[in-house]
Amino acid sequence: MANLSIDRPITPLRQRMLDDMAVRGLREHTRRDYIRHVCRFAAFLGRSPETATPDDVRRFQVHQTESGATASTINSAVSALRFLFTVTLDRPDLARRLMIMRNPRKAPDVLSVEEVARLLQAAPNIKYKAALGVAYGAGLRASEVTHLKVDDIDSQRMLIRVEQGKGRKDRNAMLSPQLLELLRLWWREGKKRTVMLPHGWLFPGKAYTEPMSTRQLHRVVQEAAEAAGIRKRVHPHTLRHSFATHLLEQDVDIRVIQMLLGHSKLDTTALYTKVATRTIHAVTSPLDRLMALMEGKAADG
C-alpha cells in the first residue's frame, strides 16, 4: 500500500475535510489518521476520492485484506472513509458499502506488582517516574497522562481530573497518597528547573509550553523496561492494563473499575478477568470439592 506523506499541498477536498473535522471537534491525531487513510484510498484509485464508485470501495477493501492489513488498520480506514463519504462528500451510499472487520479481542499483557516496581525504579528521572506512576496509579491512557495540567491534580478531594478523554468525555481518576507524594516531588523539581509553568502542563515537553508527546512517553517506558530486565512487550497502555488487573485481584468491584477506566461498556472491563491470575487461583475447582466429598464418604464407610 502506498506510503503517502500527508504534508503535501492541500487540495480543496482535503481542506473541506479538515474544516469538517475541526467543526466537529475531532482530535489532532484523529484528523491526521483520517487524512492518512484517505490519502491511501486516493493513491489506490489513482484519482480523487470524489469520483469513487461503490465498486472502487469494494476493491479497496479487498486490496487491504490481500495486502495483509490488520483488522484494526482496516477498521480505522473504515472510520476515515465513512467520515469522508458521509460528512464531506454527502455520499452515504458509499459509506454503507464499507465493511467493518471483526477484530478478535486478545487478553492484554500485564505486569506483576513486582515488575511495575522495577519499571518505576528504572525510569531515568523523577519526571518520567511520576508520569509512569500516573499511568499505573490512576490507570490513565498515554494521551491522558501527557495532557494533564497542574490544575488537574485535586489534592483536596484526592482526584485527578481527566478532561476530554477517549470519546471526548470528562471523568475523575483516583489519586492515591503515594501518587500525590510522587507528583509533589516532581512538582518541586520542575519548579526548581523552571519548567513548571503556572496552570501549565504537568509533564511539559522540550518546549515548556507544549505537553510531552505520547511517543516520548512510549520510548521512556520501553527503555525503562529494558533497563529493568522485563522481557515482556511493554508500552504505556500496559500500565493501565496492570492497574485494572491488580484492582480486580484486590476484589474491587468490576463496575468501580469500569468507572475509573472510563469504559463505556462493562464488556471491555470484563476482559481483565482473563488475566487476573490471583482471582483465578482463589477459586476452588468443583472437582476439588467433589474429591473432598468423596474422601469424606470413604472415611465414614
pLDDT band at 257 (very low <50, low <70, confident <90, very high): confident
Q: Over the chain, what is the mean pLDDT?
A: 86
Which of these is catalytic: 31, 129, 235, 240?
240
Residue 88 in grid coordinates = 464531506
Q: What is the pLDDT of residue 294?
A: 65
Which of these is catalytic: 166, 208, 218, 278?
166
- Percentage of residues of the chain with pLDDT beyond 90: 59
Which of these is catalytic: 31, 141, 147, 241?
141
pLDDT tens for 199-233 read: 999 999 988 889 999 999 999 999 999 999 999 88
**Residue 103: how many CA atoms within 13 Å on its side-chain side?**
11
CATH superfamily of 12-95: Tyrosine recombinase, N-terminal domain (1.10.150.130)
CATH of segment(s) 113-280: 1.10.443.10
Is the pLDDT at 20 greater than 50, yes or no?
yes
Residue 237 designated active-site: yes
Is the pLDDT at 28 greater than 50, yes or no?
yes
pLDDT tens for 30-64 read: 899 999 999 999 999 999 999 999 999 999 999 99
Is the pLDDT at 250 greater than 90, yes or no?
no
Domain ranges of the chain: 12-95, 113-280
pLDDT band at 264 (very low <50, low <70, confident <90, very high): confident
Q: How far apart are the C-alpha atoms of 235 and 230, rounded to whole Å?
A: 12
Is the pLDDT at 3 greater than 50, yes or no?
no
Residue type, 231: R
Q: What is the pLDDT of residue 281?
A: 53
Residue 240 designated active-site: yes
Residue 32 designated active-site: no
Q: What is the pLDDT of residue 2?
A: 41
Residue 272 designated active-site: yes
Cell 501527557 -> residue: 146
As a whole number, mean pLDDT of residues 258-274 equals 74
Q: What is the pLDDT of residue 107?
A: 66
Q: What is the pLDDT of residue 201?
A: 95
- What is the end-to-end Cα distance of the chain in Å, rounded? 74
pLDDT tens for 103-154 read: 666 667 889 999 999 999 999 999 999 999 999 999 999 999 999 999 999 9
- Chain-centroid distance, C-alpha 90: 31
